[in-house]
């Protein structure tokens, strides 16, 4: 990319070009993905107890539709 | 540049991505290790872009599976339960089959988790584009995790023509740039005709 990225799609392009040159960038992606998974898991544990987990989640999903 | 230093390379028609596995990969790998014992499959959409480097979050991983009969499905379901996955739609074959029979998608997650989950999408010839990609898989490998995705040109066009959301257009852009050296113009023409049948 010759010009400075401006739009979201410019950033997607910039990142993909940089990634092609440097696989080390995958390490940042791994951190981001695992941090999101941990947040989701922590939120799930806070919101739903282990007891009757599945029925609580199903009720929640029905109500949130 | 040696293949070990490249972000990706092709070996025996398989795309090899040069990165370590992350926890999202391991979730998908665990699910596919069970699924592969029972049926063919195809991983599509967001996980294809994410597994090839797109930096965005996802909560679900879309998995196409050929339509199957109730007996075959019951064996798969037992195996998934035995391997600590649970189904959003129910705990019994009868409950879950009632969704599958209607053609509804169902979701599986690890026990005591909601995310990430697998959206399990049953496909037959009535969905020509989905059926085509399911029967024309491209192998991709990250370390020891090998799985099936659509041909990259097909995935790009499906996102641009059928899905067409902001996230999908960005995913398609990522794939176009990241794989620019291996994309084939003729395949784009061939796949566009197939995809437009589903529009």
Q: For residue range B122-135, what is the model confidence (pLDDT) as tens digits?
A: 999 999 999 999 99
Residue B135 lies in a domain: yes
Residue B109 lies in a domain: yes
Q: Do A9 and B169 touch (CB under 8 A)?
A: yes
Residue A3: pLDDT above 80?
no
Residue B142 lies in a domain: yes
Residue A37 in contact with partner chain B when CB distance is under 8 A: yes
Residue A54 in contact with partner chain B when CB distance is under 8 A: yes
User: What pLDDT is attached to residue B5?
Assistant: 80
Mind listing the pLDDT tens digit for each residue in B48-90? 999 999 998 888 999 999 999 999 999 999 999 999 999 999 9
- Over residues A21-48, the mean pLDDT reads 95
- Measured between beta carbons, the chain B residues lying within 8 angstroms of A26 are 7, 18-20, 53
Question: Which residue among A17, A23, A33 sits closest to B24, beta carbon to beta carbon?
Answer: A33
User: What pLDDT is attached to residue B58?
Assistant: 87
Domain holding B54: CATH number?
3.30.460
Mind listing the pLDDT tens digit for each residue in B160-176? 999 999 999 999 999 99
Q: Do A53 and B22 touch (CB under 8 A)?
A: no
Residue of A nearest to B22 (CA): A30
Residue B2: pLDDT above 70?
no
Residue A62: pLDDT above 70?
yes
Residue B50 lies in a domain: yes
User: What pLDDT is attached to residue B102?
Assistant: 95
Chain-centroid distance, C-alpha B137: 10
Number of domains comprising chain B: 1
Domain regions of chain A by residue span: 8-64
The set of residues, in sequence order, having a beta carbon less than 8 Å from that of B117 and lying 6+ positions away, is B59, B60, B61, B88, B107, B108, B109
**Could you give the percent of chain B with pLDDT greater than 70?**
98
3-class secondary-structure state, position B16 = strand
Give residue B139's domain range: 13-151
Residue B174 lies in a domain: no
């Amino acid at each position: 990319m010759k010009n400075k990225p401006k739009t979201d799609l410019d950033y997607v392009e910039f990142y993909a070009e940089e990634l092609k040159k440097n696989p080390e960038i995958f390490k940042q992606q791994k951190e981001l993905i695992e941090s999101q998974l941990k947040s989701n898991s922590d939120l799930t544990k806070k919101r739903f107890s282990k007891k009757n987990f599945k029925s609580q989640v199903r009720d929640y999903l029905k109500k949130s539709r | 540049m040696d293949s070990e230093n490249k972000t990706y390379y092709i070996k025996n028609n398989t795309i090899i991505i040069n990165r370590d596995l992350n926890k999202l990969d391991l979730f998908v790998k665990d699910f596919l290790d069970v699924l592969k014992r029972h049926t063919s499959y195809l991983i599509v959409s967001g996980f294809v872009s994410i597994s090839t480097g797109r930096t965005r979050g996802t909560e679900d991983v879309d998995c196409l599976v050929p339509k199957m009969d109730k007996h075959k499905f019951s064996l798969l379901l037992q195996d998934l339960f035995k391997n600590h996955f649970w189904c959003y739609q129910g705990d019994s074959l009868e409950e879950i089959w009632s969704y599958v029979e209607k053609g509804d998608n169902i979701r599986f997650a690890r026990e005591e988790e909601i995310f990430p989950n697998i959206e399990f999408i049953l496909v037959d010839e009535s969905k020509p584009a989905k059926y085509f990609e399911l029967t024309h898989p491209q192998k991709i490998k990250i370390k020891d995790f090998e799985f099936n995705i659509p041909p990259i040109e097909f995935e790009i066009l499906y996102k641009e023509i059928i899905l067409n959301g902001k996230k999908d257009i960005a995913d398609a852009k990522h794939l176009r740039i990241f794989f620019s050296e291996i994309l084939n113009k003729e395949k784009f023409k061939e796949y566009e005709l197939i995809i437009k049948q589903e529009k």
